[in-house]
Chains A and B, each alone.
Chain A
Amino acid sequence: MKITINNLCLKIANQTILKNLNLSFQQGEVTCIVGPSGSGKSSLLRTLNRIDSNKNYKYSGDVILDNKSIFAKDYSLEQLRKQVGMVFQKPCIFPFSITKNILFGAKHHEKMTAYQAEKLVIDKLKQVALYEEVRDRLDQSALELSIGQQQRLCLARTLAVNPQLLLLDEPTSALDPYSSGALERFVVDFKKQGTVVFVTHNIAQAKRIADHVVFICNGEVIESGSAEKMFSCSTTDQTKQYLNTQTCDC
């Protein structure tokens, strides 16, 4: 799945959040978006998933997903969100059992037998390295899991819908090293079957997983390119400063 952003601008309540963005995310790549807080990274991800229920959102430009604009009136938002899965910064667990959490989205998209549902739950839990930790309590409340386990469960729930593009909005910011590592391994593994856009403040993490890096500041793309190029010979001073000190004077 290829997604291309052309001259995208976003205003929320007359405040400019994204300015004239031009980007593309390639199939089979992990793109890390880095930048200071409030630079528009999360807004960009929410735009790609169209989680923009607020009527104050005003777009110009376009986002093309597989040759079709996601802003087109006949584009099904549900179909878009099924294809483009999103995991948020804070794990958001539904007050159900672990099994029900995973099946929550998937059951709305396709009917499945009890056997298929059970297989799906186990497969997805294994994919996010959570199965061994929760195999004995699949029918217990998911709220009893640790934060790291909850975030991996959110990821499993998203994967159960079978998305081709994954948007991960600082998913490891509140996680312990073990859970972060498990999630990073999953991301690297997932690019064999899809595309990943990963927002992070952790430059070391971006170095570990990114094929492509985008540096955004004040709603503008300052620089983007392959991870190798960005981390070794970035061309702008702002990027160099941010990648070295995680501060910027943009």
Chain B
Amino acid sequence: MKKINHYLICFFCWLALVISLTLVLGVIVILVGKGIGAINWNFISQPSTNFGQSGGILYQIVGSLLIVIVAFLLSFPVAIAAALYKSEYLTNKKWQYWSDMMLHILNGIPSIVFGVFALLFFINICGAHVSWWLGSLILAIMMLPILTFSSYFYLQRLSPEIRDSCLALGLTKGQFIRSFLLKRSFVGAVSGSFLGLARILGETAPIMWVATVFAGGAIPSSWSEPVATIATHILILAQQANDPQAVSNGWGASLILISLVFILAGIGFYMRRQQLRIQ
């Protein structure tokens, strides 16, 4: 009976893995199958025209990368500092609990709420213009919990013996943080950034009212201009389902978007490996 139970558990675990991988592979295969035909040098090097029915997605690629990279740069140091503070200085269990809870809540807020908040607070109340930096700011807030938790959990994995050994050598807490924890928190945040970047790169709702334009975008020449992004472009193309060229471009843009996710994740993995390398 125990053997049957064991085989059943193994079978269901295997089935779950196969279903997960099949779904991911299925999405990739469909995207490649449908989108590869639309992709050529002109598609990624030309700006879109006629609401995306013709031309390429150059401005959308640049806009997406600009917003996401600046969001990452804004969020990264804050996440590392927050993780270090939570790990090393926040000793009160009640505060620990509340900080965890607040970060979980922040992580769980639907993206449309971020969009509404940004519109009401920054545009309506503060009088800011629709601009790419507002999008970066909102996306930075969105990815902050993922980066913070990732960095924090990496710090928590540090064995107490290492902490004791460091302190027993006469290091101050500040020296211990600088020489040991900072690097670990960096590694943790980098690995968390895979998830964070993957999440925000495809976001439309939080930025569509405050940072993007649906048509006519260009490469911004100042910080107060809006940009076009791939996600909002796909949204526009999806609304033109009766036009085969627009649909084809939509598949192509989706393939480019998922390729960017893979490239960013690849860079993140490479950075993580570099950081973990023995020096």
Contacts and interface: CB of A to CB of B under 8 A. Distances in A.
Given A88-B161, A92-B159, A92-B162, A81 B278 contact: no
Contacts of B164: 51, 88, 92
A81 B169 contact: yes
Interface of B: 91, 159, 161-172, 175, 179-180, 276, 278-279
A141 B276 CA distance: 12
Interface stretch (A32-40, A67-75, A104-112): A104-112
Interface stretch (A19-27, A126-134, A154-162, A213-221): A154-162
Given A78-B172, A92-B162, A108-B179, A51 B167 contact: yes
A161 B175 CA distance: 15
Given A88-B164, A92-B159, A141 B278 contact: yes
Contacts of B161: 88, 90, 92
Given A96-B278, A97-B278, A141-B278, A104 B169 contact: yes
Nearest to B183: A95
B170 A79 contact: yes
Contacts of B172: 78
A192 interface: no
A79 B175 CA distance: 14
Contacts of A90: 161
A49 B279 contact: no
Closest 9 pairs between A and B when the two form their complex, measured CB to CB: A105-B169, A82-B170, A81-B170, A92-B161, A86-B168, A92-B165, A141-B278, A78-B170, A108-B175
B167 A105 contact: no
Contacts of B91: 55
Which of the listed residues B159, B166, B168 has the most CB atoms from chain A within 10 Å of its own CB?
Answer: B168
B163 to A, nearest CB: 8
A51 B168 contact: yes
10 contacts: A51-B164, A53-B167, A79-B170, A85-B168, A88-B168, A92-B161, A104-B166, A109-B170, A140-B278, A161-B169
Given A55-B91, A86-B168, A94-B180, 13 more contacts: A51-B164, A51-B168, A78-B171, A85-B168, A85-B169, A92-B159, A92-B161, A92-B162, A94-B165, A100-B279, A108-B169, A143-B278, A161-B170
B174 to A, nearest CB: 10
A108 B167 CA distance: 11
Contacts of A96: 278-279
A183 B24 CA distance: 55
A19 B115 CA distance: 62
A234 B167 CA distance: 37
